[in-house]
Amino acid sequence: MIIKVLFYSGYKGQETPRAVVIAGQEYPVDQVIWRRKGQDKDTRESYELFRCRVAGQEVTLKISPSGEARIRGRGRLFPPS
């Protein structure tokens, strides 16, 4: 499943997630609960984590510097059937 995160872009570049696009369906980010930076222990690659409320669910978005996005944790979004 392809996941894309749309950001508000300010003077620092991509700053705040505004929407998550999953399988062509766009879900607006209602609230950013927290934001953290991290670094992979093995590869030393940095990443950002965003805990967000999206479509009534809390999800954690992991964004790598390449722009690759993953949804982590218990919260999951699926396209409506």
How confident is the model over 42-54, as pLDDT tens digits? 999 999 999 999 9
Pairing relation of β-strands 57-63 and 46-54?
antiparallel
Which residue type sits at 73? G
Query: How many domains are there within the chain?
Result: 1
Give per-residue burial for 61-70: e unless 16+ CB within 10 Å, then b. bbbeeeeebe
| Domain interval for residue 27 | 3-72
Question: 33 lies in a domain?
Answer: yes
Q: Is the pTM of this model over 0.85?
A: no
Question: 78 lies in a domain?
Answer: no
Question: 80 lies in a domain?
Answer: no
Question: 64 lies in a domain?
Answer: yes
Question: 11 lies in a domain?
Answer: yes
Question: 77 lies in a domain?
Answer: no
How confident is the model over 6-61, as pLDDT tens digits? 998 766 666 789 999 988 899 999 999 999 999 999 999 999 999 999 988 899 99
